[in-house]
């Protein structure tokens, strides 16, 4: 069962195409996890997060300035190479400038039938942001209705909310199993589960997560007890080769703070009569992306909480090269984790990672963590 996540990770395009053939529905590519998928699900649209393929490419140079992050270039490359040619729509919720550049270039050169820019507010710590986002969700809902040719009713929205909430709760429960001294799953398996959740039909994905939790994980012993417990945090990260290398050095990754991981599913929509208001509140109050984490640094407390609850010995801070929002957080994030006795290793990721070089650094980091036990 748990292998299904890896299979989904690797066959994302085939899955979406088959879903289209099977359901006749529309597929929406999205660029940022602030996209309110509840509304898309309410319209029977399959939301598919656009991610890169971690391969060298030569098609984005004319479109994106070299100081923009490798992730946005990798995403745009997927579009220019036609790998998402099955998309009916494509959208972004306002977050960082770099991924926005990938969206606008893609839209300009390979436009699907529907595109949408959702001006997700940045000042999520202001109470003004909730009514503003609610208003923008109303406009977005209308645009989706016109696109799919069908009214989105309250019952539809309830279904979208329930699907998302069920998925989020299942993923939280899955992550909770990793709190144990002998985690029943690896960090790599968790990454496959979390990332594939961003493009697989929610009901289908949730059913497998539930099955894994109930039937596969109880009693599963991978011999991870005693391995150095790590968390990973920072920029977008779906680099399975990297995670595999880190765990191959004698560690186990037990939690994360990534938009490709726990930030995506952390909090629920609290249902209320005004469905759009409820959805707006959820996205405003979710664990913040660094682009929206101001004036207070709420991420520091959230990350410390993860580190404590998942009992980590160290943290690897991952930053996509040129990722300004994370670069602006990392010095404080390191101080913050150091303050609770969680040492950090900082690594800068590109489209592909230099596994050999990084392995030496990770091994050194793990050795350093182990010294505490020796002396």
Partner 1 sequence: MAKYPTETLLSWSKAKEIRETYYKNYAAAHDKGGIRWVGGAWTFDAVPAGLGGDVYSLTSEPYGASCAFNKDFSTRAMEAAETAGYARDLCAYMRNYWGSILMNEYAFGGPFPKPDFIWQDHICCSHAKWYQVVSELEGGIPMFCVDVAVGPAEPFGTLTEAKIDYVAGQILDGIEWLEKTTGRTYDDELFIEACWNDFRSTSKWAQVCELNKAVPAPLDEKTMYSLYVLATLQKSWGVVADYYDELYDEVKDRVERGIAAVPNEQARVMSDTQPPWSALKLFRYLEQYGVVSVGSLYTFGLEGMWDFDPASGDLVPRPMPSKKPTTREEAARELVRWHLHKPEYQHFYDCDYKSQMMIAMCKNYGLSGVMLHYNRGCEGLSLGIAENRLAIQETGYPVMTFEGNMGDEREFDLGRTMQRVDAFMETLGVKKVAA
Interface contacts to partner 1, rule CB under 8 A = 62-68, 94, 96-98, 100-101, 104-105, 107-108, 117, 119, 121-123, 126, 128-129, 131-132, 135-136, 139, 290-291, 294-295, 297, 322, 324-325, 327-332, 334
* Distances, alpha carbon 251 to alpha carbons 4, 50, 224, 254, 343, in Å: 23, 29, 8, 9, 14
Least distance between partner 1 and beta carbon 298 (Å): 12
Complex with partner 1: residue 133 or 362, whichever CB lies closer: 133
Complex with partner 1: residue 294 or 304, whichever CB lies closer: 294
Give the torsion through C-alpha atoms of 366, 367, 373, 374, to 10 deg: 170
Complex with partner 1: residue 6 or 59, whichever CB lies closer: 59
- Which among 329, 355, 316, 318 has a CA at the least distance from the CA of 237? 318
Least distance between partner 1 and beta carbon 299 (Å): 11
Complex with partner 1: residue 98 or 141, whichever CB lies closer: 98
Least distance between partner 1 and beta carbon 189 (Å): 32
In whole angstroms, give the CA distance from residue 242 to residue 155: 43
Least distance between partner 1 and beta carbon 94 (Å): 6
In whole angstroms, give the CA distance from residue 351 to residue 56: 7
Least distance between partner 1 and beta carbon 319 (Å): 8
Least distance between partner 1 and beta carbon 135 (Å): 4
Complex with partner 1: residue 119 or 248, whichever CB lies closer: 119
The tokens for 307 are 């580190």
The tokens for 243 are 């995670």
Task: Find the DSSP H helices in the chain.
Answer: 3-10, 12-23, 37-42, 70-80, 97-109, 129-148, 154-176, 187-196, 202-211, 240-248, 262-265, 275-285, 298-309, 324-327, 330-339, 355-374
Complex with partner 1: residue 17 or 297, whichever CB lies closer: 297
């Amino acid at each position: 069962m748990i292998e299904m996540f890896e299979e989904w990770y690797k066959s994302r395009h085939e899955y979406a195409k088959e879903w289209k053939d099977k359901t006749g529905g529309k597929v929406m590519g999205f660029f940022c996890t602030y996209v309110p998928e509840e509304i898309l699900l309410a319209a029977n649209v399959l939301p598919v997060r656009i991610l890169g393929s971690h391969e060298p490419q030569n098609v984005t140079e004319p479109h994106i300035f070299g100081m923009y992050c490798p992730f946005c270039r990798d995403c745009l490359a997927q579009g220019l190479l036609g790998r998402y040619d099955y998309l009916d729509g494509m959208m972004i919720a306002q977050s960082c400038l770099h991924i926005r550049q990938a969206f606008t270039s893609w839209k300009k050169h390979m436009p699907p039938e529907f595109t949408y820019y959702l001006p997700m507010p940045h000042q999520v710590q202001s109470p003004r942001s909730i009514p503003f986002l609610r208003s923008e969700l109303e406009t977005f809902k209308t645009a989706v209705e016109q696109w799919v040719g069908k009214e989105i009713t309250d019952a539809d929205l309830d279904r979208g909310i329930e699907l998302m909430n069920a998925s989020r709760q299942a993923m939280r429960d899955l992550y909770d199993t990793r709190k144990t001294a002998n985690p029943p799953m690896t960090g790599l398996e968790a990454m496959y589960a979390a990332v594939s959740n961003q493009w697989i039909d929610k009901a289908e994905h949730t059913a497998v997560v539930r099955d894994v939790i109930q039937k596969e994980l109880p009693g599963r012993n991978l011999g991870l007890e005693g391995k150095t417990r790590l968390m990973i945090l920072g920029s977008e990260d779906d680099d399975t080769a990297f995670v595999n290398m880190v765990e191959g050095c004698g560690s186990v990754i037990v939690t994360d703070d990534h938009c490709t991981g726990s930030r995506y599913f952390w909090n629920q929509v609290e249902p209320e009569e005004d469905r759009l208001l409820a959805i707006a509140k959820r996205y405003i109050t979710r664990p913040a992306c660094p682009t929206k984490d101001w004036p207070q640094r709420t991420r520091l407390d959230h990350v410390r909480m993860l580190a404590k609850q998942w009992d980590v010995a160290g943290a690897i801070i991952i930053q996509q090269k040129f990722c300004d929002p994370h670069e602006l957080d990392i010095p404080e994030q390191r101080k913050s984790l150091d303050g609770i006795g969680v040492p950090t290793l900082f690594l800068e990721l590109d489209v592909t990672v230099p596994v050999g070089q990084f392995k030496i650094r990770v091994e050194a980091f793990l050795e350093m963590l182990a010294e505490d036990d020796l002396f």
